[in-house]
Amino acid sequence: MSKRKVKKTMAIIFSCVGALLIITFVSLFIISGIFKQPKYLEPWQKNYSQKFDDPRIRLAAHGLLSANGHNMQPWKIRLDKKNPMVFYLYADSERLTSEVDPFARQMMATQGTFLEYVNIAGDELGYQTAIELFPEGDYNEQSLSESMKTKPVARITLTKTNPKSSPLYDFMFLPDTNRAAYQPTKLTSEQIDQLENINVDAGLSIQIFQDKENMNKLNGYAIQGANIEAGVSRVMKESEIIFRANEYQKNKYRYGFSVEGQGTSGIMRHLMQGLVTLFPSMNSGKAASDMFIQSTRTSVDNTPAYALIIAKGNDRSSQVKSGMIYSKLILTAHRLGFVMQPLSQVLEEYPEMKEPYSSIHSDYASDGGTIQMLVRLGEPIKEVPQSMRRDVMDLIVMD
């Protein structure tokens, strides 16, 4: 074959390969849903709550943005029919993650994060919010799921007042969790004081650690917890079930996990979504476990400080209040230029986690308290995208 024919043949081959690559990339983008409008991000818009006339729904639309376990958004709202300034928050028992959170402690903290966002938004919108926890009594712990359906976590009573600007309000519209690497910069003593001295309940405390000894110890707990969790198939399966592979699924469900939570954004997000949709095994089984462990190691290796939220007790009210404090901690950290990520696997209460759970409590809550949150804290290296949120009207119970 002549050199000219060889060159022509090679040109045809390269042209075909190039065309095939283009078709492959375009196909992945289409499968990802690149042209779909992300309705699941609408609640993050500052004017979203303004669509609603009822102040209770407007405040609930702000609560919807708060941090929550597994991004399940397990909230239900019942509007008082007789008093237009009263509404009730219920824990949505159909959104329990029973494998990872068998005693619903994280579920209760998630109720608290919601309430604190409502509280802060109330100031900004001109409503004083009086929050009464468990106004109809405690849950029946022997029939917890059913009890959640009938007994509210809180009654919120609004009183119209003059709006007052909250220094934390604007930070509610930022993602609550950043899983990327952080700058190595340590916090100043003044910054630590501001975080540890957030207006906390008498039974709660915030402790910041950034010294070498405690960093090594807490890094070890974070890795140990991730390794154990990655090896418990039923827990990993629970997360796998709520993974949303593409834009179509994210718009349909509007809760759960997605590739953004793994730090993927931009064009790579759509490529990854297309691949995971075509090959679900990329995000399940051993692949998911390995990815989780590696992600935790990257987080631990790029963390300058940790924060612990510790409660003297572990009753339901204490759990809710710990969530309220967590919201304040997140927003105050944002105001200071920091971001956060929970690394609380070691605090989970399923049998396989018993040993490290006991050990970390012996080290950091030896007086009998309960560590409600363990989070990494630092200056971000990059911004991360916002996560899915449900339409606030999906939270409203119509009866």
Q: How far apart are the first and last CA of the chain?
A: 81
**pLDDT over threshold 70, residue 3:** no
User: Per mean pLDDT, which range of 130-144, 274-288, 350-364 is the poorest?
Assistant: 274-288
| Average pLDDT over all residues of the chain | 92
Q: Which CATH architecture has domain 178-378?
A: 3-Layer(aba) Sandwich (3.40)
Q: Are 300 and 226 in contact (CB under 8 A)?
A: no
Please state the φ and ψ torsions of residue 15, each to the nearest 5 degrees: -65, -40
- Sorting pLDDT into bands at 50, 70 and 90, what band is 30? confident
Conformational region of residue 288, where left means phi above 0, alpha means psi within -120 to 50, and beta covers everything else = alpha
Got the DSSP string for 194-245?
HHHTSS--TTEEEEEE-SHHHHHHHHHHHHHHHHHHHT-HHHHHHHHHTB--
Which pLDDT belongs to residue 160?
97
pLDDT of residue 31: 84
Q: Which helix (H) or strand (E) holds 266?
A: helix 266-278
Average pLDDT over residues 281-303: 89
- 92-115 residue pLDDT tens: 999 999 999 999 999 999 999 999
2 burial (CB, 10 Å; 0-12 / 13-18 / 19+) is exposed
pLDDT tops 60 at residue 7 = no
By the 8 A CB rule, do 44 and 65 touch?
A: yes
Tell me how crowded residue 262 is: count the other CB atoms within 10 A of its CB.
15
Same fold, 40-172+386-394 and 178-378: yes
The helix (run of H) or strand (run of E) holding residue 86 is: strand 86-91
- Rounded distance, CA 383 to CA 178, Å? 8
Per-residue pLDDT band for 264 (boundaries 50, 70, 90) equals confident
Q: In 3-state terms, what secondary structure has residue 311?
A: strand
- The answer to whether 152 and 88 have CB atoms below 8 angstroms apart is yes
What pLDDT does 33 receive? 83
Q: Give the torsion through C-alpha atoms of 48, 54, 58, 60, to 10 deg.
A: -130
The span from the CA of 112 to the CA of 66, in Å, is 9
Q: What is the pLDDT at residue 17? A: 47
Does domain 40-172+386-394 fall under CATH 3.40.109? My reply is yes
pLDDT at site 277: 82
Calculate what percentage of the chain has a pLDDT beyond 70.
93
Sorted by where each begins, the domain ranges of the chain are 1-32, 40-172+386-394, 178-378
Distance, in Å, from the CA atom of 269 to the CA atom of 263, rounded to the nearest integer, reads: 9
For residue 339, what are the CA distances in angstroms to 173, 259, 300, 362? 13, 19, 14, 28
Structural tokens at position 251: 């718009």
Residue 160's contacts (CB-CB under 8 Å, 6 or more residues apart) are 85, 126, 127, 128
Element at 89 (helix H, strand E): strand 86-91
200-225 residue pLDDT tens:
788 999 999 999 999 999 999 999 99
Query: Residue 77 forms beta bridges with which residues?
Result: 89, 396
**How far, in Å, CA of 89 to CA of 107, rounded?**
13
Asked if pLDDT for residue 353 goes beyond 70, the answer is yes
State the amino acid at position 32 in one-letter form. S
CA-based nearest residue to 102, from 385, 330, 273, 349: 349
CB count in 10 Å sphere of residue 100: 22
The pLDDT, as a whole number, for residue 279 is 79
Contacts of 116 (CB under 8 A, 6+ apart): 66, 323, 324, 325, 326, 327, 328
Q: Higher model confidence: residue 14 or residue 185?
A: 185
